[in-house]
Amino acid sequence: SQTIHQWPATLVQPVGSPLSLECTVEGTSNPNLYWYRQAAGRGLQLLFYSVGIGQISSEVPQNLSASRPQDRQFILSSKKLLLSDSGFYLCAGERNTEAFFGQGTRLTVV
């Protein structure tokens, strides 16, 4: 079955520090991959999606970037974190119209 591995589960980072969240996929090849931010009362905000290696579409201009160096790897990054980057980040994959999600990363910027 298709699974998403996302780590770390929680992260506390100081303002101005870099960020790298990694997500890997097992059980399928050539999935669409997504990064979402989930905020209380605001649902799932799509940040980035990718239909293939090196192909990234950004939905929201912000302090974050994404990369897909391999078919089953999707990375969310920032060079300098802001307080407003705090939140819950979810990686998702999709194959044959069914999406599957990682467990998420709770990021707190202090």
Partner 1 sequence: GDSVTQMEGPVTLSEEAFLTINCTYTATGYPSLFWYVQYPGEGLQLLLKATKADDKGSNKGFEATYRKETTSFHLEKGSVQVSDSAVYFCALRRGFGNEKLTFGTGTRLTIIP
- Write the DSSP string, 59-80: SS-SS-EEEEEETTEEEEEESS
> Site mask, partner 1, residues 17-56, x = CB under 8 A?
---------------x-x-x----xxxx-x--x-x-----
Indicate whether 87 belongs to the interface with partner 1 (CB under 8 A). Answer: no
| Interatomic CA distance for residues 24 and 88, integer angstroms | 17
DSSP, collapsed to helix, strand or coil, labels residue 8 as: coil
| Count, residues near partner 1 per rule CB under 8 A | 23
Among 14, 69, 83, 98, binds partner 1 (CB under 8 A): 98
Among 59, 63, 82, 108, binds partner 1 (CB under 8 A): 59
The b/e string for 53-66 (b: 16+ C-beta within 10 A; e otherwise) is: eeebeeeeeeebeb
Interface residues with partner 1 (CB under 8 A) are 32, 34, 36, 41-44, 46, 49, 51, 57, 59, 90, 92, 94, 97-104
